[in-house]
Amino acid sequence: MARERFATYISTTLAANSRDCLRGGQGGETCLWQGGAECAAYAAAKAVALFPINLLLLRGSTPMNDLVQFITVDEIAVITINNPPVNALSPGVPEGIAAAIQKISGDDNIKAGVLIGGGRTFIAGADINQFGKMVSGEVKRDPAGLNVLLTPIEQCSKPIVAAIHGTAFGGGLEISMACHARVAVAGAQVGQPEVKLGIIPGAGGTQRLPRLAGVPKAVEMCATGDPIKAPEAHKLGIIDSIIEGDLLEGAIAYARDLVAKGEPLRRTCDLTEKLGDEKTNSMIFAMARQMAAKKAKGMMSPLRAIDAVEAATKLPFDEGIKREGEIFTECLRSPESSAMIHVFFGERAVSKVPGIPADAPIKDIKSVGVLGGGTMGGGIAMVYANAGIPVVLKETKQEFLDRGMGIIEGNYAARVKKGRMTQDKMDANMALITPTLDYAGFADVDIVVEAVFEDMEIKKSVFAELDKATRPDCILASNTSTLDVDQIAAATSRPQQVIGHHFFSPANVMRLLEIVRGSESSDEVIATSLKLSRKLRKVGVLVGNCPGFVGNRMIGIYSREAQFLVEEGATPAQVDKALEDFGMAMGPFRMSDLAGVDVSWRVKQGNQHLIPSGQRQSSIVDKLYEAGRYGQKTSKGWYRYEEGSRNAIPDDEVLKMIDASAAEAGITRREVSDEEIVERLVYGLVNEGAKILDEGFAARAVDIDIIYIFGYGFPPFRGGPMWHASAVGLQKVADRIAEFEKEHGEMWKCSELLSRLAAEGKTFEQFDKEKTEQLAGV
């Protein structure tokens, strides 16, 4: 009731009376509340009305600015950051906090302060837009950075308590660590994710975190960027208290308790007991560097984050802060950071599709039917169950259904065993999946995802059945990875409701969802698919309907060149190592063994009509298929595998097959350099990607980058194939492709778009910008 009473007081008295307006406004026509909108001050005041407050204390209080509000509650100042949606440290937020701290320091009637986030979270981090502006020179970065704010917080003579809910990431955690105490709700998370942007914490994160959590955990958090939950942070010493019940009320009580105790303030910068000794630390840092080199191969920022944490153990605090700032600036100006910031914004850009109205109707998906309980169907069922959406899972035979449900249960059980899921959550998810052998359960579902065998006739037959078994407004989605969505849609009476939802294997792990637009797919179905992808925690990218769509069309060129290169003189192990050293999660041959050589063979057979007569083809996949070498599933493929192991072991039998294939093609084998391997595979991706862009099957180059990063293991620190090409220089890439055309023929003809951009000295980023402006009529 206190919240309601306070809100009523604000709306009926303060906003209408200039003497009491929290904005210091004049009331009447100038009052935003009177005009029908909820002003920032009113929203903040309402948000903190959680228990009885002496309202007279609010009279005369004013916001520090539109982003930071300040009120006093019985001698405790409450600073509320109100910069939705995530309270990022945009320009104005640090200044507002600084003004609030100054007010606390100079007002004898204020005994302590609480810093809290309005809305759904504490400070979730920096405003990423500012990083690009710093690099371009548009914004000049103060060498002291955010420390100009953190030092006054830490040195304030009155206790400042950070009250954390949602997330305290990056600069948010750094600000909280400068406070004298931190309290949080149990569901909160804290972290230093800067390495995911190719940088390191730049406002004391690498210097304060080891002082609170200890060196090993600080190294881990700063080098991996992975967050931890509040209970673990509490055990480590990052959080001082977990608040049960209302956060603000608990934080104010905690601040009052600090005042009552009258003990010296605990300033993080002064703590040294957890910094360890040189001998122990040297082992910690050596192991951390070894792990970073393995898990973040090719990346600079994790290693530099470790360097910065090490500085905390060897230098006085102020010198450590200076060293951190130097490393931060070095990382910020690196190609790695530019690429990873591109990926950060790209992941968000793909949800905004040119030509799809922002107000397009969206169907609420409350239930799903999944057709096929195999590897893909079972994974897709898990994806929906994980999102809390009831699933009807259909198979043709009981044995197939039992096996599929058993695999799903086994996958969940493995997560429970590893501590990644509770038994209760597993039981709840399993209860959401209803197995069936008929279409009866499909009558009321909102969407069906088909995941049957990759054969056009089978899929057309299945869609004809679905057309009769489901409601007319039900969306029919195919998980096809290469087949024509329009042909599938033609088997139904509702092609406008048909779309491709190409999940990547394993569907319950891989984040990419290629959304394939058919020629008649409606705006509603497309918009619903994009929104649904976010609910499923997938990165949905809309693509056009061509053979292989975007990802697999490009991977065909990548795989072609890999096979040609081994015929010409490389080995599968050399090709895989060259690409993995480049940063790919997995080389092409290990990837083929994982996906299945039999799958590659079937795709090859299905695409024969697309290959120009007389064009070179490799016969190695045919030989592997005929020998029953299907990859990991048969313990033999491009490599051999010992029972129960996924460790790829080079096999002389495969080398003999390669020699035979080369001899049949009249190829004289030679020494192949790692540089040539990387250029032919990666530039092959780029050239095909440019053709796809020019043909309109991808809206933007960034869409292709996101597809390859989230679906094919392209290294994020290289920004995706199209960004990487721009970083290398499109003219250099086009020139090299021209050389490949001279050596290998017409199949290497340079894309017209790539040639044009290279001649104009442009990048794919500029192409995206110009195309977006053109569509917007700018």
Give the integer Cα–Cα distance in Å for 524 and 364: 11
Q: Exposure string (b/e) for 234-260, b if CB count within 10 Å is 16 or more?
A: bebebbbbbbeeebbbbbbbbbbebee
CB 96 within 8 A of CB 134: no
Instruction: Map residue 573 onto helix, strand or coil.
Output: helix
Cβ neighbours around 463 below 10 Å, total: 23
What DSSP character marks residue 13?
A: I
How far is Cα 559 from Cα 566, in angstroms, rounded to an integer?
A: 11
Rounded to a whole number, what is the distance in angstroms from the first to the last CA of the chain?
51
Please enumerate in sequence order all residues whose Cβ is within 8 A of that of 443, keeping only pairs 6 or more positions apart, or say none. Answer: 469, 470, 471
The token duo for 463 is 């869609």
For residues 715 and 765, the answer to whether their CB atoms sit within 8 Å is no
CA distance 368 to 388: 11
* Residues 633/505, Cβ–Cβ less than 8 Å: no
CB 507 within 8 A of CB 491: no
Closest-CA residue to 471 (of 493, 489, 451): 493
Which alpha helices (DSSP H) does 227-369 contain, by range?
230-236, 247-261, 278-295, 301-314, 317-332, 335-349
Exactly one of 174, 220, 561, 679 is catalytic; name it: 174
CA–CA distance, 25 with 40 (Å, rounded to integer): 13
Q: Lay out the sheet containing 189-191: strands in order across.
A: 167-169, 189-191, 228-229
Verify whether residue 194 is a known catalytic residue.
yes
**CA distance readout (Å), 217 to 174, 220, 272, 541, 601:** 15, 5, 15, 36, 47
Q: At what angle do helices 597-606 and 588-595 cross, to 10 degrees?
A: 90
Neighbours of 92 (CB within 10 A): 15
CA torsion through residues 280, 286, 289, 293, sign: negative
- Work out the number of other CB atoms within 10 angstroms of the CB of residue 620: 22
Catalytic residue among 138, 154, 194, 676: 194
Buried b / exposed e across 194-229, counting CB within 10 Å, b at 16+?
Answer: bbbbbbbbbbbbbbbbbbbbbbbbbbbbbbbbebbe
Q: How many CB atoms lie within 10 A of CB 90?
A: 13
Residues forming a β-bridge with 162: 115, 182
Under DSSP, is residue 679 helix (H, G, I), strand (E, B) or coil?
helix
Active site residue 752: no
Beta bridge pairs of residue 80? 69, 116
182 strand-pairing partners: 162
Nearest CA to 392 out of 438, 326, 351 is that of 438
Give catalytic residues, as residue numbers. 174, 194
